[in-house]
Amino acid sequence: MSEAPSNSSPASASELPDRPFTPYPTLMAEAAAAHPDLPVITVEGVSLTWKEFLPRINKVANILKSRGIGRGDYVAVLARSSLEYVTVFMGTLASGACIVPLSGMASSEQLEGMMNDSGSKMLFGSASTKELIAPFKGKLKNVPEDGYVAFDFEDADWQSFDGLMANASEEPVDVDIQPEDPFNLIYSSGTTGVPKGIEQSHGMRFQHVIRFQAMGLDEGATCLVSTSLYSNTTLVAMLPPIAMGGRVIVMPKFGVEEYLNIAEKERVTHTMLVPVQYHRIMKHEDFDKYDLSSYQLKLSTSAPLREDVKRDIAARWPGKMIEIYGMTEGGVGTVLSVTEFPDKLGSVGKAGLGAEIRIIDEEGKELPVGEIGEIVGRSTAMMNGYHNRPDLTEEMIWMSSEGERFFKSGDMGRLDEDGFLYLLDRKKDMILSGGFNIYAADIEAELIKHSSIDDVAVIAIPSEEWGETPLGLVVLEKGAKDTAVEIKEWVNARLGKTQRVSDIVFREELPRSTIGKILKRELRDEYLKSRTVT
C-alpha cells in the first residue's frame, strides 16, 4: 500500500502526483484492459469482473446515446444501492452525460424540484422509491413518457432496465470529455424547498482519484462502503479503486455484524465510514473477535469523530486511521492521521494535499493563529458552482489579499501554531448568549466525557434573560440511572460561566441524516414546537 499522505508539514498542489487529466471513462477502460478477471464491484454477495462490468457500462452509454443523451445532459437515479445503480452511474459517465444521484430522504415535492432544476432527461428508480416518484411521474419538464426506467419491479408505465439492456450495444461510446464537463450533480441536504445542486466536474473528480490513490485506494485495494450512492462520502472512496484496479464492496444498508462479517471474509483493506458507524462498530460486544488484520486504512468524514472513539480505533483496529474534514463543494479540506498524531485528536488535521486553509472574521479579514472565525479554503478540487444559482456561488467565494479564490465553509474554527484545525460549530448554529459567542462543540466535548452518556447534542434555545442559552440533549448508556439534574450539575461545574447549559433533556436517540450528521435544525424545531403547543 502507498503511504497515506502525512500532515506533518504544510501541503501544496505541487505535492500531488503529477499526472495529466484523464477522463474517468478512460480510467475505467484502462483498468478493465489491465485486470479483465478482477471482481471489481460486489453488492449483496454478487460480483462482476471487469470483463462482465465494462460491457454493461457500455450498454448504458449506448442506451443514452440512442435517446440523444450525451455530453452536457443530465441523468438522474433515485434508487436503493444495487449493481444496476452502479452500472447506470458509470454508464452515464461513459456517455459523457452528468449523473444526478438523488436522495430517498427528500420529499416528493423536493425531488420534483431537483429533477426540474437539473434538467435530467431520464430517471431510474427502484421498488423502494417508486412511491416517492409517483406524485410527479409524467409531470417533469424534461423526462419523456418512456424516460422512467425500473431496476427491480415491473410496471406497464415504466421501462424495464433489463429489457433496455438486452438489445443494447456493448461497443464503447466515443466522447471527448473535458476537465470542466460536469461529472455529477449532488443536491445538498438539510434545507427547505429545493436544495442547492453542487456541480462537480470531471477535473474535480480526477483530483479526488489521484489524492485517494496516494492513500492506497488503487490496484489491489478492497474498499468496503456502506453509505448511500448519492453521498459524496461514498463517492470519494468508491471511485478511486474502481478506476485504479481495485475492488469495491457496496453495502446497500449498514449493519454492524454484517459489516464485520464482510470485512473479515473479504479481507477488506480500506473503508470509508461516518462517525456514527464507527461508534456503533466499536461498541459491538464481539468486535475484538473479528479478524481485521487485512485493514491498511480506515477513513472517516461527514462529521467530527469524537476523540475517545479515535483513540479506541487506533488502539483496537489494525491499520492507519485518517479523519477527513471537507465539503462536497470542495476547496476546504483537512486530513488527520489519527495513528500518527495522538496528541492532536481534538483537531480535524491539517490542510490536505493541494489544499490551503485560512480563518476569517465577519468582515472578511484574515485572522491570526489561535483566533476563532469562519473557515475558508481553496484546493485543486473545487466545484464548478451551484447549478443554476450563480448568485449563491458568488456568495460562497472569499478572495484573499493575493487575489486567490477561496470557498467559505460556514463552519467556525481555529488553527493552532502547528497548522492543525480545530472545528467548533456551524456558523448558523453558534449560540449568542448575553453578548458572548458559545460553541456547542465545546459543551458537547465535555458532556460526552460523562460515563453514562452515549450520545449528545447541544442547541440554542430562546432565553428572555440572555437572548439564547445552551440546551443539552442527551442519550444515556443502556442501564444508566443518572438524572437530568445530576448531569446538568456535573457538566456545569466543568464549564465556563457563560457556557453553562440551562437544562438537560433525555432522548431515546438523536435525529441524524443518512450520513450520520445530527439534524440540529430538527431538534430546535421540535423544541420550539413543544413550547407553542397549548
| Amino acid letter, 428 | K
Domain end: 154, 171, 203, which one? 203
Q: Give every residue of the chain whose pLDDT is below 50, as ranges.
A: 1-14, 533-534
Task: With 0.85 as the threshold, say if the pTM is over it.
Answer: yes
Residues 149, 195: one domain?
Answer: yes
What's the confidence (pLDDT) of residue 534?
A: 38
In a domain, 333, yes or no: no
What's the confidence (pLDDT) of residue 15?
A: 57
Residues 400, 513: one domain?
Answer: no
Residues 83, 192: one domain?
Answer: yes
Element containing residue 168 per DSSP (H, E): none
In a domain, 245, yes or no: no
Domain end: 378, 397, 425, which one? 425
Tell me the CA distances in angstroms from 363 to 127, 295, 375, 404, one per residue in order.
Answer: 50, 46, 13, 17
Residues 407, 522: one domain?
Answer: no
- What is the total count of domains within the chain? 3
Residues 370, 465: one domain?
Answer: no
Residues 63, 162: one domain?
Answer: yes
| Amino acid letter, 433 | S
From CA 228, how far away is CA 54, in angstroms rounded?
Answer: 22
Residues 356, 445: one domain?
Answer: no
From CA 423, how far away is CA 412, in angstroms rounded?
Answer: 6
Q: What is the DSSP letter of 382?
A: B
Residues 451, 369: one domain?
Answer: no
- Residue 373 in 3-state DSSP? strand
Q: Residue 477 belongs to a domain with what CATH number?
A: 3.30.300.30
Residues 382, 459: one domain?
Answer: no
From CA 276, how far away is CA 255, in angstroms rounded?
Answer: 12
Tell me the pLDDT tens digit for each residue of 290-308. 999 999 999 999 888 999 9
In a domain, 59, yes or no: yes
From CA 324, how far away is CA 350, in angstroms rounded?
Answer: 10
Tell me the CA distances in angstroms from 173 to 63, 93, 177, 274, 415, one per residue in order.
Answer: 10, 10, 11, 36, 48
From CA 324, how far away is CA 215, in angstroms rounded?
Answer: 12
What's the confidence (pLDDT) of residue 2?
A: 33
Residues 166, 59: one domain?
Answer: yes
In a domain, 326, yes or no: no
In a domain, 30, yes or no: yes
Report phi then psi at 311, rounded to 5: -65, -40
Burial group, residue 239, by CB count within 10 angstroms (0-12, 13-18, 19+): buried
Residues 420, 440: one domain?
Answer: no
113 C-beta neighbours (distance < 10 Å), count = 17
Give residues with Cβ within 8 angstroms of 200, minimum separation 6: 182, 183, 184, 185, 186, 232, 328, 330, 383, 384
In a domain, 310, yes or no: no
In a domain, 251, yes or no: no
Tell me the CA distances in angstroms from 404 to 40, 163, 407, 501, one per residue in order.
Answer: 40, 51, 10, 41
Closest CA to 236 of 256, 254, 214: 214
Q: Residue 192 belongs to a domain with what CATH number?
A: 3.40.50.12780
Domain end: 203, 224, 253, which one? 203
From CA 228, how far away is CA 272, in angstroms rounded?
Answer: 12
From CA 491, how far away is CA 531, in angstroms rounded?
Answer: 25
What's the confidence (pLDDT) of residue 235?
A: 96
Residues 191, 52: one domain?
Answer: yes
Say if residues 322 and 335 touch (Cβ distance below 8 Å). yes
What's the confidence (pLDDT) of residue 11?
A: 33
In a domain, 272, yes or no: no
- Please give the residue range of the domain that contains residue 368: 342-425
How many residues in the chain? 534
Say if residues 215 and 499 touch (Cβ distance below 8 Å). no
Q: Residue 346 belongs to a domain with what CATH number?
A: 2.30.38.10
CB under 8 A, 24+ apart: contacts of 482-489: 482/450, 482/452, 487/447, 487/450, 487/452, 487/453
